[in-house]
Chains A and B, each alone.
Chain A
Amino acid sequence: MPEMWRVFWDGLSAPAQDALVLVILLLPAVLTGFLTLRGYRPWPLIAALLARNRWISLTFMLLVAVSVAITTGLTSQERALREGAARAAEKFDLVVTAPGSDVSMMLASVYLQPADTALLDGETYNWIAGNERVTLAAPIAFGDSYKGAPLVGTTPDFVTHLASGALAEGQNLTSLFDAVAGARVPANVGDVIEPTHGVPESFLAPASDALSHGVGYRITGKLPPTGSPWDRAVLVSVESVWEIHGLANGHGPDWDGTLGPPFDADRFPGTPAILVQADERWANFTLRSELSSERTMAFLPGAVLARLYVLLGDVREMLSLLAFLTQLLVTVGIFVGLTLLTRLLAKRLALLRALGAPARFIFALTWGFAATLIGLGAGVGLGLGLGTAELISAVVTARTDILVEARLGWSELHLVAGFLSITAILALIPAAMTMARPVMDDLRG
């Protein structure tokens, strides 16, 4: 790319670059349309031909629509999944757990998937919390549930962090058996809930072992929606979690009841994970090194996700290849279909030629007919693709609690624009082929 263009390109904002790419991709279709239709307005005849061949036109249009829907649906769904997973992890800059698989621990601590985890002790917690760059070190203790929603023991500071500073309703944890419910937990402020031991379908505590602790938590606040599995979690004080399991509550005998750190290392029963926030974003990388030891594993969930995306890159490429092959096959199908369709129009086109219609008018009419079908199909396909992706997103969201929102992005628009341009140019061939047909035979046919 010449230097001047590079400077111009780099000076554009990302949306401007995307818009420019869209225009460039659409340009062949627009130019073909302009040059082909210039001087004529064959739309009444195109509408008449579409109506006359309505069923075959509809079938053809649906073929185009389904192909566009498959391609745009696949790409938008894949992106929505990636964005949803990343959004769900964005509150978790750095997580420290006992050594093991960072993927398993990320699934457990960030996505609240049940897992068998070793515990970090009080000494370790204080070592982490005492680091000068650490502004938040919140224990995350799970294992109990309420109506299938995980009960997570933590600190009021973590609640504030998760709520981005402000609860949707009510107030934060102040007393031992206060609880803050996620946005999608079926409980309101003021309700008293009774958790059961274990998480359903968890090997930590099989469903048959699920027993009530005989303790009631009062819902004091509700979290705003986060688009993560935490929307279905109930946050309680970590001290209460330890207490109802018959353990020390993390504080010495002279504890005044204030929830959260500092904790007494000797009376700290352990926590599966600690969420850490640094004073500066870049410091998370330093902390990852500093907090990784023989006893601990510090990981950045964002980096783990990025690694997973790289690992899943092959699947993504395969999806892209499948989408491309689908599109290629359909494009070939469209070409063959257009050739057959124009034969259906042969008698009408012969009539127009007999009446003195110039070759370019016939060409414009035939191309316009094909382009209308392709354009309508692509438009319907975009809607269909988005609708399907939204449906799949809703199912994924319901099953994982990760908010997956499929929407049309630039890549889908680029894809459709490229498809339109290629097929618009391909449609010139059957349009040209109609000119070679014998008028007399077609008129009599």
Chain B
Amino acid sequence: MEPAIRVRDVIVRSASGRDLLSIPELDVEPGEAVVVRGPSGAGKSTLLYALAGLVLPTAGSIRWGETEISSLGDAERTRFRRKYLGMVFQDHLLFEELTAAGNAALPSLFAPKAERRAVGDRAGALLHKLGIGAEPRRVTTYSGGERQRISVVRALAGDPPIVLADEPTASLDRASADQLTDDLFALADGRRTLIIASHDPAIQARAGRLVSVVDSKVRVSPYA
């Protein structure tokens, strides 16, 4: 069952004691598409990393379904990420020396043994669906838009119910950004929860709900 995300009274502080993020309340239901917006440096990425369990809150609660993420150890949080999360980054962060297929199937290298083949096959099928990665050439030979789409496939290779995307279109031209947005929403297919940090009005327009981060504080809007 896909977990709902419940966040209550979360504060993330830096080592020097500065508040990086404050989330009084945030609920994300399974299958929702939420866009996080706000100026650069406001804390959008920190919000995504906190939801992913990559940054632990100084105070408050982040629950995935019934599980309190902040109380889990590193290994358990990693296992949760592997099982429930796919992540897309602004600068796609691909392994440049690998092919498109090699990058897309990266999660198969560390998936549980019984799932490795399925993860690899799924990555291949998704690439095929997007019409890229048929040739065994290095990923650096692809355009920026194609590379970001390959990173979307990588995020979805493990078939996660939740996808977190951090400014996925920020470094793309308009056409590539639109293509990527189409692919992201098509592959999410209404079944997956999408939480996207983005300035892009085209993405914001397709969100079910907008969340604003201003001065490190999260404000939830009821409507898109």
Which residues of chain B from 63 to 115 have any CB-CB distance to chain A below 8 Å in the complex? 74-75, 78-79, 81-83, 85, 87, 89, 93, 95-98, 102, 106-107, 109-110, 113
Q: Which of B79, B82, B95 contacts A348 (CB 8 A)?
A: B95
Q: Give the distance in Å from the alpha carbon of A105 to the alpha carbon of B46 in the complex.
A: 86
- The reply to whether B89 and A351 form a contact with Cβ atoms under 8 Å apart is yes
Answer whether residue B185 sits at the interface, using C-beta atoms and an 8 A cutoff: no
B96–A40 touching, CB < 8 Å: no
C-alpha spacing A76/B134, complex, angstroms: 52
Tell me which residues across on chain A come within 8 A of B82, comparing CB atoms.
Answer: 355-358
Q: Is the CB of B107 within 8 A of A440?
A: no
The answer to whether B78 and A39 have CB atoms under 8 Å apart is no
Pick the contact of A358: B52, B55, B79, B98 (CB < 8 A): B79
Partner of A356, one of B46, B89, B95, B158: B158
Bound-state Cα–Cα, A353 to B85, Å: 12
Check if A107 is an interface residue, CB within 8 A of chain B. no
B89 touches A361 (CB 8 A): no
A49 to B87 Cα, complex, angstroms: 21
How many residue pairs at the A-B interface have CB separations less than 8 Å? Answer: 77
The majority secondary structure among interface residues of chain A is helix
Which of A41, A52, A356, A444 touches B81 (beta carbons < 8 Å)?
A356
Given contacts A44-B102, A48-B98, A52-B96, contact A355 B87 (CB under 8 A): yes
Q: Which residues of A contact B49 (CB under 8 A)?
A: 439-440, 443
A444 contacts which chain B residues (CB < 8 A)?
45
Complexed CA–CA distance, A381 and B97 (Å): 27
* CB-defined contacts of A47 to chain B, threshold 8 Å: 97
Considering the complex, give the chain A residue whose CB is closest to the CB of B55. A440
Nearest chain-B residue to A48 (Cβ)? Answer: B97
Question: B78 contacts A351, CB within 8 Å?
Answer: no
The docked-state distance in angstroms from the alpha carbon of A417 to that of B98 is 32
Contact of B154 with A by CB under 8 A: yes
Given the complex, which residues of B lie within 8 Å of A354, measured CB to CB?
52, 54, 81, 87
Contacts A40-B109, A42-B109, A361-B110; is A353 near B97 (CB within 8 Å)?
A: no
Inside 8 A of B97's CB, which chain A residues have their CB? Answer: 47-49, 51-52
Q: Are the C-beta atoms of A439 and B54 separated by less than 8 Å?
A: yes
Give the residue of A51, A52, A347, A361 whose beta carbon is less than 8 angstroms from that of B109: A361
* A321 part of interface (Cβ distance < 8 Å): no
- A355 touching B54 by the CB < 8 A rule? no
Q: Which of B74, B89, B93, B113 contacts A39 (CB 8 A)?
A: B113
Q: How many residues of A contact B (CB 8 A)?
A: 27
> With A and B bound together, what is the CA distance between A355 and B54 in angstroms?
10
Query: Which residues of B have CB within 8 Å of A347?
Result: 93
Residues in chain B near residue A348, CB distance under 8 A: 93, 95
CB neighbours of B155 from chain A (8 A): 355
Of B96, B106, B113, the most chain A CB neighbours within 10 A belong to B106
Contacts of B109 in A (CB 8 A): 40-42, 44-45, 357, 361
Contact yes or no, A353 B98, CB < 8 A? no
A136 interface residue (CB < 8 Å to B): no
**Residue pair A357, B74 in contact (C-beta under 8 Å):** no
Contact A359 B98, beta carbon cutoff 8 Å: no
Residue ID in chain B nearest A347 by CB atoms: B93
Which A residues between 245 and 275 are near B, CB-CB below 8 angstroms? none
In the complex, which residues 395-411 of chain A have their Cβ closer than 8 Å to any Cβ of chain B? none
On chain B, the residues within 8 Å of A44 by CB distance are 98, 102, 109
- Select which of A39, A357, A361, A440 is within 8 A of B54 by beta carbon: A440
B55 near A356 with CB under 8 A, answer no
Instruction: Tell me the bound Cα distance from A347 to B96 in angstroms.
Output: 13
Q: Is the CB of B89 within 8 A of A443?
A: yes
Q: Which of B147-184 contact A (CB under 8 A)?
A: 154-155, 158
Cα A40 to Cα B112 in complex, Å, equals: 10
Most central of B78, B81, B102 by chain A CB within 10 Å: B78
Distance between Cα atoms of A353 and B96 in the complex (Å): 18
Residue of A52, A347, A440 with most partner-chain B CB within 10 A: A440
CA distance A444 to B45 in the complex (A): 10
Within 14-52 of A, Cβ neighbours of B (below 8 Å) are at 39-42, 44-45, 47-49, 51-52
Name which residue of chain A comes closest to B98, CB basis: A48
* B87 shortest CB reach to chain A, Å: 5
The answer to whether B154 and A355 touch across the interface, beta carbons within 8 angstroms, is yes
Within the assembled complex, what's the spacing in Å between the Cα atoms of A353 and B83?
13
Could you give, for residues 412-445 of chain A, a 1 whenever the CB lies within 8 Å of some chain B CB and a 0 otherwise?
0000000000000000000000000001100110
Interface bits A95-115 vs B (CB < 8 Å: 1, else 0): 000000000000000000000
Residue numbers in B under 8 Å from A49 (CB-CB)? 97
Please name the residue on chain A nearest to B103 by beta carbon: A48
Q: Given A354-B87, A443-B49, list of 15 further CB < 8 A pairs?
A: A44-B102, A49-B97, A348-B93, A351-B93, A352-B110, A353-B78, A354-B81, A356-B82, A356-B107, A356-B158, A357-B110, A359-B74, A361-B110, A440-B49, A444-B45
- Going nearest first, the 3 A-B pairs with the smallest beta carbon separation are A356-B82, A48-B97, A356-B81
Which residues on B are within 8 Å of A, measured CB to CB?
45-46, 49, 52, 54-55, 74-75, 78-79, 81-83, 85, 87, 89, 93, 95-98, 102, 106-107, 109-110, 113, 154-155, 158
A-B contact pairs, 25 of them (CB 8 A): A40-B109, A40-B110, A42-B109, A44-B102, A44-B109, A45-B95, A45-B106, A48-B96, A48-B97, A48-B98, A48-B102, A52-B95, A347-B93, A351-B89, A352-B110, A354-B54, A355-B107, A355-B155, A356-B81, A356-B85, A356-B158, A358-B75, A439-B54, A440-B46, A443-B93
